[in-house]
Amino acid sequence: MGNSDRRLDLLGLATLIFIVVGLYMAFLYAPTEVNMGLVYRIFFFHLGAVTAGFFGILVVLIAGIAYLKTNSRAWDRVAEAAAELGVMFCTIVLISGSIWARPIWGVWWTWDPRLTSFVILWLIYIGYLMLRASARDDPRVARFSAVFGIVGALDVPIVIMSARLWRSISPVLFQETQQGFTFGLTPPMVQTLFVCITAFLLLFFYLLAQRVRLEALRDELMAIRRALSAQVPSAPARAAEWRGAEQTPVRPEHVR
């Protein structure tokens, strides 16, 4: 087992530990919120998924810039893997948010500014993945996808600030007081939130490493296939050779 495998196993173990501890704290340690009741506990996983989703888009931004500078396939693999995970975590955000909204707002969905801007972000990166799938091995598509991912990341600050920029019914995590910005949560809730966010970030990095490794193996397999196809003649070429051999007349030997 190499050092990279050992580090990846340790990362997986740390991820599992934080997930178990986060589940315990979310359901048993954190006190029940006065107004929302038990349904508020989904908030810990909701915000953890938000953080992981935004972090995935940040990685797409960084890897896209690095790819445009270096033209390295390694950075392109990181960007594609991070986009896939970003879409996955953003999907979890939309589902968990709808589950939370139904008993609190009385509806599964409302076109709130924050929700609308978040859906736009989600659709942007679904479009990114569709673009990548259209021609996986085309360098031109990779470069255009890098630019597309960089521009799409500009929507993240809009999502974060939307509740303050426009009239929104979405809850605001940080409350502004005379002493500055404070959490609108009790200390046990804050502790639980940080553990859950850490668990989601560790899960993101673990899945990212596995996905990048899988994509690297795919590239190696495609390189082997191309090398073999270059060495072995195609079936039409072999058939043409056989037809040519059959049509070549055999010259009789000279009889003395």
CB 131 within 8 A of CB 145: yes
By three-state DSSP, how is residue 176 classified?
strand
Over residues 183-199, the mean pLDDT reads 88
Helices marked H in 25-72: 42-70
With pLDDT > 70 as the criterion, what percentage of the chain qualifies? Answer: 82
The pLDDT assigned to 102 comes to: 86
- Quick one: how far is CA 182 from the chain centroid? 30
Residue 185, both tokens: 């949560």
For 185, half-sphere exposure in the C-beta direction (CA atoms, 13 angstrom radius) is: 20
Over residues 63-87, the mean pLDDT reads 95
CB 90 within 8 A of CB 216: no
Domain 3-217 has what CATH class?
mainly alpha
Rounded Cα distance, 149 and 83, in Å: 8
CB 79 within 8 A of CB 63: yes
Do strands 180-183 and 174-177 pair parallel, antiparallel, or not at all (unpaired)?
Answer: antiparallel
The greatest distance separating any two alpha carbons of the chain, rounded to the nearest whole angstrom, comes to 120
Whether this prediction's pTM lies above 0.85 is answered by no
DSSP conformation class of 28 = I
pLDDT tier for residue 31 given thresholds of 50, 70 and 90: confident
pLDDT tier for residue 222 given thresholds of 50, 70 and 90: confident
CB 77 within 8 A of CB 109: no
The pLDDT assigned to 160 comes to: 86
Rounded Cα distance, 140 and 146, in Å: 10
CA angle at 85 for the pair 63 and 102, rounded to the nearest 5°: 135
Output 129-133 pairs: Cβ under 8 A, ≥24 positions apart. 129/83, 129/84, 129/87, 132/80, 132/83
Sole residue written with tokens 């990166």: 125
pLDDT tier for residue 169 given thresholds of 50, 70 and 90: low
In DSSP terms, which residues pair with 37 in a beta bridge? 33
Residue 92, both tokens: 């979890």
CB 152 within 8 A of CB 159: no
The pLDDT assigned to 228 comes to: 86
By three-state DSSP, how is residue 175 classified?
strand
CB 45 within 8 A of CB 53: no
Q: Where are the domains of the chain?
A: 3-217
In DSSP terms, which residues pair with 100 in a beta bridge? none
